[in-house]
Structure 1
Amino acid sequence: MFKKLAADALGLSDIGKVIEPQDYDKTESDDYVLYEKGEKIYFIIKTKADEYCFTNYALIHVDGDSAISKKRTLKRYDYKYNSLHHVSLETAGTIDLDVEIKFVIGETTFSIDINKSYAEKIKDLYKSLVTIEQIMRDNDKYRNHMLDSLDSAKKTLSSPGYSQGQSPAESFKSITEFTNTWLKNMSDSYSNTDFGHVFDLYIKN
């Protein structure tokens, strides 16, 4: 505790700040946003070493080796391919100088400390991430139901006497084509690429 307080007092800890929308273009992560494809920044947290840029499509992490190094590694986590879970928020205590938001995206765990003066803004980010997590959980459930339904349909279509006058090769082709089309349509229905509508509910830029 005392070491942490001393580090905060000396400015040695990596406590982040929330970047205002008018200053997004001054950040490194802004250079890597896919504006050409409709990507939009909703929230940026900047620490001495890192930037965490939340867009409608992805989390863009500008990962710094240390606060004194200029070397950066860009990591992108698209929501479409990386599930979001275990979102939590640790609020500031009486003597704490920071709040902490935690989450897992894909297989990567994040724990970000932010100056408690931004606590209200971080609550809005927390609500956004929790809502996205809930949508992803529902999508996973619907996809499982979808696969169970498909399995039942395949068993029925491939059962003896269900060829409807087709040869085995024709029957196999029909089932395969139907399955591919159906899977694609259902996958598109239960896989979100753009979560801008969620961020718009809670974050006003």
Structure 2
Amino acid sequence: MGLLGGMLGNASNVDKEDVKRELADILTESEEIDFAFKLVRDLLVFTDKRFIVVDKQGLTGKKIDYHSIPYKSISHFSVETAGHFDLDAELKIWISGASTPAVSKQFKKDNAIYDIQKVLATVCV
């Protein structure tokens, strides 16, 4: 796809091969990673088949929640940009039939939220 270059702030573009090794037990044999972003310890991973939110929990990060969402299940998403006094931006993703967001992530005041929104807009067609 070639949409993204380097990113600033708390969300950063991650090497696909590193993520592929980290998610070896989760990915299918034919699944390819298109984009991956790191948010402190968590990962937002866009593959050719689905969107995966990797939520590392606890002090050591050994407990991990893998939230897998097929693109066809994403009904809509929103981005809330940071303001003058509110320094955080927020991404929310809803899945079909849900009234509350399935995913809600905070970002620092930078352009990372726009880059992730562009990827979502591309894959959710």
Q: Which has a greater percent of helix?
A: 1
Pair 1:92 & 2:85 matched:
no
Task: Give CA deviations for 1:9-34 in whole Å, capped at 9, x if unaligned.
Answer: xxxxxxx8323243761687543344
Aligned positions of 1:6-155 closer than 5 A? 17-22=10-15, 25=18, 29-31=22-24, 32-34=26-28, 36-48=29-41, 50-67=42-59, 69-79=61-71, 82-106=72-96, 107=98, 109-117=102-110, 119=111, 121-133=112-124, 135=125
Q: TM-score, normalised by structure 1?
A: 0.44
Residue type matched to 1:88 in 2? Answer: S
- Give unpaired runs (5+ residues) of structure 1: 1-15, 136-205
Q: Which has a greater percent of strand?
A: 2
Higher radius of gyration, 1 or 2 = 1
| Maintained 8 Å contact 1:52/1:59 | yes
Q: TM-score, normalised by structure 2?
A: 0.66
The 1:65–1:38 alpha-carbon spacing in structure 2 relative to 1, beyond 3 Å, is closer
Cα RMSD (Å): 3.0
- Give unpaired runs (5+ residues) of structure 2: 1-8
Identity %: 29
What is the Cα deviation at residue 123 of structure 1? Answer: 1.1
Name the structure 1 match of 2:6. Answer: none
Task: Give CA deviations for 1:54-107 in whole Å, capped at 9, x if unaligned.
Answer: 22211122233445552112232232xx51123111001013332111111355
